[in-house]
Amino acid sequence: MIETKKILKNLNIKLNNYKKERKELREKGYTIIKNNKVLKKNLKNINNIIDKLIITEGKKGGWEGYEEFFKKNKSFEKGAYRLGGLIYKHNIFRKLILIPEILALAYDTIKDDIKICSLNFRSPKKNSKDQDIHIDGLPRRKNKGYNGIIAMFYLNNSSKHTGPTRIIPNSHNKIGWPDNYLDVTKKHKKEIELIAKAGDIVILNLNLWHAGSRNKSGKKRGTI
């Protein structure tokens, strides 16, 4: 658990420096940090490390925390390259969680100390299926705040052909699971595709409805 107020003070992070991003995240449930300096500086090294981990871990990639369900030659997600527990695997990944925008937006959303739940990698394979619409955590309860954010670090340029993440803006304010409102296996009429470049960071409210989509081109579209 991070004593967030102390961290923000020590790093000289002021919430007022991120008014636009805070407003977007509160109102729409997402915001995009363009061309982040820390991520951009380390992109080449991160991609090289990720490529090596995908080879060395093979089918075991992504199963951290779910080891009891692992079976030989069973992929964590059939249609994607997955890696889990990155925070323990190289110092370079620990730099990402201290990026000022992430700490500021997490604190503004949670209103409390921050706990790092996971640091995972996903890259959809060619012709992977659309994911079901989902949230990455427990649903929001009536008159309660929000439990967290998702920070998506883009390691490659994305396009509509490389399996972009689909989101439904403003859905973070809904109470309960997405299944209570729609058929999660189908596309939503209000969904948009997130198109970002390598070095961008997309921040989502943890309760925002979202899903991965099919990678038609087969080009890399890796995110942490």
CB atoms within 10 A of CB 114: 19
Report, as ranges of residue numbers, the positions in the chain whose pLDDT lies below 70: 1-2
Taking the mean position of all CA atoms in its chain, how far away is CA 191?
Answer: 17
In this prediction, residue 141 carries a pLDDT of 84
What tens digit of pLDDT does each residue of 148-182 get?
999 999 999 999 999 899 999 999 999 999 999 99
Cβ-contact 30, 24 below 8 angstroms = yes
CA 135 to CA 33: how far, in whole Å? 21
Which residue in the block uniquely carries the two structure tokens 């961008």?
Answer: 200
Is residue 50 within a helix (H) or strand (E), and if so which, with residue range? helix 37-57
In this prediction, residue 1 carries a pLDDT of 55
For the chain, how long is the longest CA-to-CA vector?
50
CB atoms within 10 A of CB 181: 15
In this prediction, residue 47 carries a pLDDT of 97
**Dihedral sign (CA 58, 62, 64, 70):** negative
CA 15 to CA 39: how far, in whole Å? 21
What tens digit of pLDDT does each residue of 32-63 get?
999 999 999 999 999 999 999 999 999 999 98
DSSP letters for 80-124: EEEE--GGGT-HHHHHHTT-HHHHHHHHHHHSS-B------EEEE
In this prediction, residue 13 carries a pLDDT of 84
In this prediction, residue 157 carries a pLDDT of 95
Taking the mean position of all CA atoms in its chain, how far away is CA 100?
Answer: 16
Instruction: Find all residues with CB under 8 Å of 179, minimum gap 6, and list them.
Output: none
Cβ-contact 116, 82 below 8 angstroms = no
CA 69 to CA 76: how far, in whole Å? 9
